[in-house]
């Protein structure tokens, strides 16, 4: 009996999650790539606020590690006609970048001569 109750509860939760994902996809606030979920509130914020809100939501600021993940981030940029912050920072070596945790980048997709260091990038 317990197994059936547990299976029913799991089935109901899966259904609710599926419905929520559907709504968020319609609102262009969620997309997936490579088993990862990318989401946005759609609100504009500075980098520190975005970083804080991502952590509070149980996630992290986006860090594209391959073309598919880059495309997932671009989906939001195009949908909301805005920029996106990435979890990347300049290392101690000028013009070299790393993830916020200090690990080296294995993937980039920047335009020629970018980042240029002009403005806040």
pLDDT tens profile 40-59:
988 889 999 999 999 998 88
The predicted structure's pLDDT at residue 23: 62
On the question of pLDDT at 22 being above 80, the answer is: no
Count of H-run helices and E-run strands, the chain: 3, 4
Topology, domain 2-99: Mannose-Binding Protein A; Chain A (3.10.100)
pLDDT tens profile 83-100:
899 999 888 887 788 999
The model's pTM is: 0.75
Counted residue by residue, the chain has a size of 121
On the question of pLDDT at 113 being above 70, the answer is: yes
Q: How far is CA 99 from CA 7, 80, 108, 110, 119, in A?
A: 40, 25, 11, 15, 20
The predicted structure's pLDDT at residue 52: 92
């Amino acid at each position: 009996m317990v197994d059936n109750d547990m299976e029913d509860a799991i089935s109901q939760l899966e259904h609710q999650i599926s419905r929520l994902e559907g709504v968020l996809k319609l609102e262009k606030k969620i997309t997936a790539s490579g088993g990862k979920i990318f989401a946005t509130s759609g609100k504009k914020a500075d980098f520190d606020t975005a970083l804080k809100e991502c952590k509070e939501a149980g996630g992290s600021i986006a860090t594209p590690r391959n073309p598919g993940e880059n495309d997932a981030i671009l989906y939001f940029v195009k949908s909301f006609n805005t920029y996106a912050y990435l979890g990347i920072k300049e290392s101690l070596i000028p013009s070299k970048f790393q993830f916020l945790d200090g690990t080296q980048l294995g993937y980039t997709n920047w335009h020629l001569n970018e980042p240029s260091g002009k403005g806040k990038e």
